[in-house]
């Protein structure tokens, strides 16, 4: 402290003891010295003192000294030390948190937590200030580049959007930042990763520039140097930057795929087996899985997702993830995320679905991985989020997988020879009638996935019978209706009702079988008319109404007591059209419906809030209008076949629309690719033009140099002639034109060719030597 005080005395002079200056006075004097001192050493000492005072007197230094510091950056760039002090002081001024020793004036005490943001706003009002900081990043000197990097980090932290725009329009601004990823000093390199993460957040244009400037390659190089998934926090930062570049940006995703970067993910998943995973490995693996899911997200264009799924399969990433699922000692969080990742890798991709079906466990004897996953889903000892992840795997496994759907249905059908081996179908059927509500719900939803867009499977499922001690075992449909009526728990009923809705939709035979069960419709009418006190009971009542509406819309008019007109009359009389419509609206207005309809992945936080499923919500939205029309149709005006035909036409049109969307997406991607190539060609053309201009300038310089040598040779020849040591050498005369005309030069002397000089021995040899020297000069 004494040393610091003595330093201040050196800069400011020794004050009178009775009149000690305040902090504001000291700062003012230092700023004045920075602005007005003619000696660089004085300005440098003043900047050093300002930096030392900034933590305590930030408001004073920022308010009075910011312009002076910016002026230093403009005028004293040649001196690295003063630039370092200026940049460091500005970084301290922009800091987004209060310092412990900081003294806040009463005027600014109210908004003291926003001081850094306010000073940042003042600093970036002059756009050239941000350009100055970027220019200093080009300096290799650590004491300059490091404070410049820290200052830019603070600016982005405080005013990200404004600074992003300024860097974007700055010449080579983004490129300067990317170059820091190659800095050999780890502290610069690592902080540049954090800076780029802030820079690219929510800015698609900067994300594209980074991707096309080969940022992915540099990041993978850093990750490899740091030890891949077993590396430190730097690996996680690099992966998070990749994730920021890829998320919601189809252009960067296409570049990542076309640049063959997908295959470079594989080493991050090849993990040595250890008993306990370190926290950092868990975080790194989670980030890797997030990157993979971003590339194959269901929200991406179908063609882009499919090509990435194929690349993941080809590069061995799907196999590595399946190995991770059956490995021992994998912690809960990365294992759950890996299950979700595998689900999206196989969603709608038949090759990947077949591969997952073929994967076996490491047990003896080995078991199918799908069967092991199903055991996990139906075990109440497993974490809830992991059980939801397994359900998502089954949804994705059966999505557009007709073979897989029929395989599950076939296994449920009665066989001549009894099979004792446990299979997926038997486990799901067993879980469907479990005493545990969540198991029943999971099984009902998983089985309903096998019926989506599967009319043949729906009809065959009517033949499934359950084993029973009775002589005539009940069918699956009969048992479900009995279970709905006998179970009081709402989650049981919701699962069964969603399953029945999926089964009955577009399947008149299933509706006919249900209407033949005498207790079915009366019970559902009772459920619809119940006065609900809880939100979950509203859903049960609304789904009961929905099932009756499906029976009305797809009624084959073959069951005497429940033909379409009779059922419509019954609904009008016992429920009422208004009440019926309100019950349906209760479902679509429910928070569970809103949450479930947003994404195929289950998003419930706990078992009590797991009520509706994504695929069911799609079905509800599609059929709600059809049910309304069927309900409001007058007797005799209804045509079930026409409704079915119209619905099929709608489905066909939906498929056509999806195909057109895919084509549009492909063409959009192609246009983006052509635009990128056009930009590349434009850049190449500009570079070639620049190179041509430079060559032309060099050519002109060479011509001028040649002319100068010719003139010089001419002067030498004149000099030789003047000294009388020149004679008409034939070799020279053949190559050189006459340089001098027959005129009098230099004081009236006659032309050198006409002067008479005595012969001197050795003159010819000396002349030849001079000529060779002139020729060499001329060639040069």
Residue 240 placed within a domain = yes
Single out the residue in 638, 672, 697 at which a domain terminates: 638
Q: Give residue 757's pLDDT.
A: 42
164 and 248 co-located in one domain:
no
pLDDT band at 593 (very low <50, low <70, confident <90, very high): very high
CA separation for the pair 374, 394 (Å, rounded): 9
pLDDT band at 657 (very low <50, low <70, confident <90, very high): confident
Q: What percent of the chain lies above the pLDDT cut of 90?
A: 62
Residue 365 placed within a domain = no
Q: Give residue 616's pLDDT.
A: 97
* Cα dihedral value 380, 383, 386, 390, nearest 10: 0
Single out the residue in 638, 669, 684 at which a domain terminates: 638
Q: Number of structural domains, the chain? A: 4
Q: Which residues pair with 439 in a beta bridge?
A: none
- Cβ neighbours of 504 (radius 10 Å): 26
126 and 228 co-located in one domain:
no
Exposed / middle / buried, residue 699 (Cβ in 10 Å: 0-12, 13-18, 19+): exposed
Exposed / middle / buried, residue 38 (Cβ in 10 Å: 0-12, 13-18, 19+): exposed
**Residue 213 contacts by C-beta under 8 Å, 6 or more apart in sequence?**
174, 175, 178
Q: Which residue has the tokens 């033009």?
A: 689
Instruction: Please name the helix (run of DSSP H) or strand (run of DSSP E) that holds residue 717, with its range, or none.
Output: helix 640-723
CA separation for the pair 387, 390 (Å, rounded): 5
Which region among 4-18, 99-113, 206-220, 460-474 has the lowest average model confidence (pLDDT)?
4-18
**Which tens digits make up the pLDDT trace of 702-721?**
887 888 888 888 888 888 87
**Encoded tokens for 257:** 């795929």
63 and 19 co-located in one domain:
yes
CA separation for the pair 401, 176 (Å, rounded): 49
- Cβ neighbours of 115 (radius 10 Å): 22
pLDDT at residue 741 greater than cutoff 60: no
592 and 672 co-located in one domain:
no
734 and 617 co-located in one domain:
no
Taking alpha carbons only, the member of 462, 464, 426, 460 closest to residue 446 is 426
CA separation for the pair 143, 83 (Å, rounded): 9
pLDDT at residue 644 greater than cutoff 80: no
Exposed / middle / buried, residue 392 (Cβ in 10 Å: 0-12, 13-18, 19+): buried
733 and 775 co-located in one domain:
yes
For residue 473, give the 3-state DSSP assignment. Answer: coil
Average pLDDT for 722-731: 58
* Cα dihedral value 448, 452, 454, 458, nearest 10: 40
**Which tens digits make up the pLDDT trace of 443-501?**
999 999 999 999 999 999 999 988 755 667 899 999 999 999 998 899 999 999 999 99
**Which tens digits make up the pLDDT trace of 260-292?**
999 999 999 999 888 889 999 999 999 999 999
112 and 146 co-located in one domain:
yes
Residue 579 placed within a domain = yes
Residue 407 placed within a domain = no
CA separation for the pair 611, 543 (Å, rounded): 11
Q: Give residue 715's pLDDT.
A: 82
- The average confidence (pLDDT) of the chain is 85
Q: For residue 361, is it left (φ>0), alpha (ψ between -120 and 50) or beta?
A: beta
- Cβ neighbours of 164 (radius 10 Å): 20
Q: Which pTM was predicted?
A: 0.77
∠ Cα 323 329 333 (to 5°)? 85
CA separation for the pair 160, 283 (Å, rounded): 26
Q: Give residue 270's pLDDT.
A: 93
463 and 568 co-located in one domain:
yes
Single out the residue in 341, 359, 377 at which a domain terminates: 359
Q: Which domain holds residue 765?
A: 655-779
* Cα four-point dihedral sign 110, 113, 119, 122: negative
Taking alpha carbons only, the member of 11, 150, 8, 127 closest to residue 70 is 127
**Which tens digits make up the pLDDT trace of 90-135?**
999 998 888 877 777 655 655 667 888 999 999 999 889 999 999 9
CA separation for the pair 224, 261 (Å, rounded): 13
563 and 625 co-located in one domain:
yes
Average pLDDT for 344-365: 93
Q: Which residues pair with 465 in a beta bridge?
A: 475
Specify whether the CB–CB gap between 153 and 95 falls below 8 A. Answer: no
pLDDT at residue 747 greater than cutoff 90: no
**Residue 503 contacts by C-beta under 8 Å, 6 or more apart in sequence?**
448, 451, 458, 461, 477, 510
669 and 743 co-located in one domain:
yes
* Cα four-point dihedral sign 668, 671, 673, 676: negative
Which region among 218-232, 502-516, 699-713 has the lowest average model confidence (pLDDT)?
699-713
CA separation for the pair 33, 46 (Å, rounded): 6
Average pLDDT for 186-196: 95
Q: Give residue 83's pLDDT.
A: 94
Residue 161 placed within a domain = yes
User: Of how many residues is the chain composed?
Assistant: 780
Residue 364 placed within a domain = no
pLDDT at residue 770 greater than cutoff 60: no
Exposed / middle / buried, residue 582 (Cβ in 10 Å: 0-12, 13-18, 19+): middle
Exposed / middle / buried, residue 497 (Cβ in 10 Å: 0-12, 13-18, 19+): buried
CATH number where 308 lies: 1.25.10.10
Residue 516 placed within a domain = yes
132 and 257 co-located in one domain:
no
**Encoded tokens for 61:** 């230094």
Residue 584 placed within a domain = yes
DSSP-assigned letters across all residues of 315-368: HTHHHHHHHHHH-SS--HHHHHHHHHHHHHHHTT-HHHHHHHHH-B-SSSS--B
pLDDT at residue 196 greater than cutoff 80: yes
Q: Which residue has the tokens 């479900």?
A: 480
**Which tens digits make up the pLDDT trace of 370-387?**
999 999 999 999 999 999
Q: Which residues pair with 360 in a beta bridge?
A: 368
48 and 126 co-located in one domain:
yes
């Amino acid at each position: 402290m004494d040393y610091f005080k003595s330093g201040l005395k050196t800069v400011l002079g020794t004050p009178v003891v009775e009149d000690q200056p305040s902090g504001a006075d000291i700062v003012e004097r230092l700023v004045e010295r920075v602005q007005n001192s003619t000696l660089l050493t004085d300005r440098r000492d003043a900047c050093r003192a300002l930096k030392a005072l900034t933590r305590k007197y930030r408001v004073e230094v920022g308010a009075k000294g910011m312009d002076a510091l910016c002026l230093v950056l403009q005028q004293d760039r040649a001196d690295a030390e003063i630039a370092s002090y200026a940049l460091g002081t500005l970084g301290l001024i922009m800091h987004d948190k209060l310092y412990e020793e900081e003294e806040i004036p009463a005027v600014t005490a109210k908004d003291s937590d926003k001081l850094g943001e306010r000073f940042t706003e003042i600093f970036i009002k002059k756009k050239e200030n941000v350009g100055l900081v970027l220019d200093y990043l080009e300096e290799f000197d650590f004491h300059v580049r490091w404070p410049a990097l820290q200052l830019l980090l603070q600016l982005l932290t405080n005013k990200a959007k404004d600074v992003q725009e300024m860097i974007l329009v700055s010449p080579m601004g983004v490129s300067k930042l990317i170059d820091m990823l190659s800095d050999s000093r780890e502290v610069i390199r690592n902080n540049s990763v954090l800076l780029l993460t802030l820079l690219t957040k929510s800015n698609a244009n900067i994300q594209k520039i980074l991707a096309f400037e080969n940022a992915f390659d540099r990041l993978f190089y850093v990750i490899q140097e740091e030890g891949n998934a077993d590396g430190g926090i730097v690996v996680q930062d690099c992966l998070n930057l990749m994730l920021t570049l890829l998320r919601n940006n189809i252009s960067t995703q296409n570049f990542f795929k076309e640049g063959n970067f997908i295959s470079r993910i594989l080493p991050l998943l090849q993990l040595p087996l250890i008993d306990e995973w370190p926290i950092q490995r868990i975080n790194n693996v989670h980030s890797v899985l997030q990157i993979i899911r971003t590339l194959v997200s269901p929200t991406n264009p179908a063609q882009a997702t499919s090509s990435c799924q194929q690349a993941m399969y080809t590069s061995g990433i799907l196999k590595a993830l399946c190995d991770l699922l059956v490995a021992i000692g994998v912690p809960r969080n990365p294992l759950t995320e890996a299950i979700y990742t595998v689900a999206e890798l196989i969603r709608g991709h038949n090759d990947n679905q077949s591969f997952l079906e073929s994967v076996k466990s490491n047990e003896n004897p080995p078991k199918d991985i799908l069967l092991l996953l199903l055991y996990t889903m139906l075990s109440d000892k497993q974490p809830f989020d992991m059980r939801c992840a397994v359900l998502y795997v089954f949804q994705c496994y059966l999505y557009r997988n007709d073979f897989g759907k029929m395989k599950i249905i076939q296994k449920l059908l009665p066989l001549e020879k009894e099979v004792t081996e446990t299979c997926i179908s038997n486990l799901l059927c067993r879980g469907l009638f479990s005493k545990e509500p969540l198991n029943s719900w999971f099984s009902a939803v998983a089985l309903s996935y096998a019926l989506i867009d599967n009319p043949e499977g729906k009809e065959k499922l009517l033949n499934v019978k359950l084993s029973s001690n009775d002589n005539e075992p009940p069918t699956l449909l009969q048992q479900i209706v009995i279970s709905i009526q006998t179970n009081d728990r709402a989650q049981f009923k919701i699962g069964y009702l969603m399953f029945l809705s999926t089964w009955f939709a577009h399947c008149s035979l299933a509706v006919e079988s249900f209407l033949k069960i005498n207790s079915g419709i009366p019970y559902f009418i009772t459920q619809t008319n119940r006065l609900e006190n809880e939100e979950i009971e509203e859903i049960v009542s609304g789904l009961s109404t929905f099932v009756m509406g499906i029976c009305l819309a797809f009624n084959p008019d073959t069951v005497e007591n429940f033909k379409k007109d009779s059922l419509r009359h019954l609904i009008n009389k016992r429920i009422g059209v208004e009440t019926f419509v309100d019950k349906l609206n209760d479902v679509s207005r429910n928070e569970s419906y809103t949450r479930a309809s947003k994404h195929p992945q289950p998003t419930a936080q706990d078992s009590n809030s797991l009520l509706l499923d994504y695929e069911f919500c799609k079905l509800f939205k599609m059929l709600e209008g059809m049910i309304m029309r069927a309900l409001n149709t007058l007797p005799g005006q209804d045509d079930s076949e026409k409704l079915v035909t119209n619905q099929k036409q709608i489905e066909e049109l939906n498929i056509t629309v999806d195909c057109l969307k895919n084509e549009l997406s492909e063409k959009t991607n192609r246009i983006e690719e052509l635009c990128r190539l056009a930009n590349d060609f434009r850049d190449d053309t500009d570079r070639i033009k620049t190179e041509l201009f430079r060559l032309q300038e060099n050519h002109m310089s060479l011509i001028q140099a040649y002319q100068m040598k010719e003139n010089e040779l001419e002067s030498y020849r004149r000099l030789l002639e003047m000294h009388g040591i020149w004679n008409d050498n034939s070799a020279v005369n053949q190559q050189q034109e006459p340089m001098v005309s027959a005129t009098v030069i230099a004081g009236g002397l006659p032309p050198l060719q006409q002067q008479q000089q005595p012969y001197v021995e050795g003159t010819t040899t000396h002349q030849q030597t001079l000529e060779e020297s002139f020729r060499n000069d001329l060639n040069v």
